[in-house]
Amino acid sequence: MAKRKQITDNSSSGLKPKKQKKDVILQPVVQSDAPVERQTKWKNKQRVLVFSSRGISFRTRHLMNDLRTMMPHSKAEPKMDRKDKLFIINEICEMKNCNKCLYFEGKKKQDVYLWASNVPKGPSAKFLVENIHTMSELKLTGNCLKGSRPLLSFDKAFNSEPHWMLLKELFVQIFGTPNHHPKSQPFIDHVFSFSIQDNRIWFRNYQILAEDGSLAEIGPRFVLNPIRIFASSFGGATLYQNPYYVSPNEFRRTLRQQKADKYNQRQEAKVSQELRRPEITYNMDPTDEVFNTITESDFKK
């Protein structure tokens, strides 16, 4: 027969009951001088590893440092050798205790690719980074406190197709700062904007100036051209492939071909002009010289 559980009364035995941890409830009105109570326990354990490969440009390095500054839940790692395989990044994330990764891959010292991955099971997405502008540029006049949590604003087009919905959820988990994170601030003063235009994702960062909704751009700004979405982390089956994607090598080859076509057209025009030019411009009548009077000067010549 099964044993019955004995119910013991802690009050009769003299044992003190265990204290239950209660969540800290913030007051609706807080004075500026009063210290802000923080909840020490945070449940969302998202950590993002942000690093790059060797051979990236200075502009890409500044962009990577800006992303680390904006995301207090990010971690850094030295540059990875380009000869190493991409699946090694999963082991690096495990050692760093990270479950998300942003990896910048540089090629030919001019092309930049961004890998956004959910480690270790996936999915992962590969983008071509275009039109990079960093925080240090003077035209971006906004400012915000370091470590403050952002609002994530997504375009309505993210709910139109399945691959955009998948990328939206991936960006929410990567760029969203966990609530009550130890390195974050307990307020929101800037907005991350993700919009879709020309089959590309446009990223902007704005500061909230006042309660009326006025904004000022902080930076950085960049454009993500999606290439492929994989089922696993840094590889696996292809879930989506962008049919409108043109590689930078193919784009540069097209530009060179256009310049070569202009040169070939000019050379063909010169050859055709030489072929159409007659040897004798017009016929002269030999009898026209009969009536010419020869002077003494002409005779001397």
Burial track 216-255 (b if 16+ CB lie within 10 A, e otherwise): ebbbbbbbbbbbebbebbbeeeebbebeeeeebeeeeeee
| Nearest C-alpha neighbor of 126 from the set 241, 251, 47, 221 | 241
pLDDT at 150: 92
Q: Are the C-beta atoms of 129 and 60 separated by less than 8 Å?
A: yes
pLDDT at 182: 86
Percentage of residues in the chain with pLDDT exceeding 70?
87
The per-residue pLDDT of the chain, averaged, comes to 85
Range of weakest confidence among 15-24, 117-126, 176-185? 15-24
pLDDT at residue 214 is higher than 90: no
pLDDT at 1: 47
Q: Are the C-beta atoms of 168 and 158 separated by less than 8 Å?
A: yes
Report residue 21's pLDDT band, with 50, 70 and 90 as the boundaries: low
What's the rounded mean pLDDT across residues 128-153? 87
pLDDT at 264: 87
DSSP 80: B
pLDDT at 240: 94
Distance CA 158, CA 290 (A): 92
pLDDT in tens, 40-97: 677 888 899 999 999 899 999 999 999 999 999 999 999 998 888 898 999 999 999 9
